Amino acid sequence: MDVHGQSARRPNAHPGQARARSVCRVQPGARRHPGRIDRGDRTRLSAGRNLPGGCYSYPRLKIAPVSQVVASWIPKAAGIAYAARLKGEGSVTLCTFGDGATSQGEFHEGVNFAAVHRLPVVFVCENNSYAISVPIRLQMANPDVADRATGYGVLGVTVDGTDVPACYEACREAVARARRGEGPTLIDAKIWRINSHTSEDNHLKYRTQEELAEASRHDPITRFGAWMVERGWLTAEGAAKVQAACDAEASEAADWAELEPDPLPEDALKHVFA
């Protein structure tokens, strides 16, 4: 059975990550690296045994190994930043997660450790107000994650996660603070979840049509495209061509994945050590 995370038009502060030099980005899971298409094939490094996007790393691009356990990567991010400081690398670690992760103990452990040691970490909560199907009102009395920063003695920033330029500025400033030795920043990027959590989830069971209609009006891709058109940096026709090219690339990747051979039953225990 193939399961994939819904990452289409997922808004976040990634532009800030992309532009910040010497940043080691800790990717938490499938929903935070849009565009990666996986299926149960035996030719990949995972041999079709992994969740989509799980347990890979890219040292050359300073992408640390992914962890599928919710929030478990947050202390890792603090540890990576601590190790980088000891090595004198001068890098900044960027850690992204959802609001559901902030309800886990690892969130406290990671942020508190980074705060105590004034580590160069930027924590970005992509707050879509849902932990799968659990609404934020059942997770926390105060839905503003950035307010928690005060308790740790670090800076908390709230930003519209569907506003790409605003996200870029928030991340750029947080990275600059970290480089100046001013410690971590906790960014609460407020976003709207447009799709279901994954292909196995049916959000119509716990969300209203009115809410979904409102969410669709906060599409960050449409908003950013309009922002560039307004400034004359892109034409409407040019934006449509970019979208068509991206759609074609995604379809081509999906077709390729569908044609990959399925895992063989006799290989079920291959590479299993315990």
pLDDT tens per residue across span 178-196: 999 999 999 999 999 999 9
Give the tens place of pLDDT for each residue, 9-45.
555 555 445 554 455 555 444 455 543 333 345 556 6
Q: What domains can you pick out in the chain, each with its CATH number?
A: 14-267 (3.40.50.970)
When mean pLDDT is compared across 25-29, 115-119, 218-222, the lowest value belongs to: 25-29
Q: Which pLDDT tens digit goes with each residue over 86-112? A: 999 999 999 999 999 999 999 999 999
Q: Which residue has the higher pLDDT, 63 or 179?
A: 179
Please compute the mean of the pLDDT values over residues 130-134 and round it to a whole number: 95
d(CA 85, CA 118): 10
* Confidence bin at 57 (pLDDT 50/70/90): confident
Give the pLDDT score at 48.
64
Average pLDDT over residues 168-176: 97
Lowest pLDDT segment from 1-5, 46-50, 156-160? 1-5
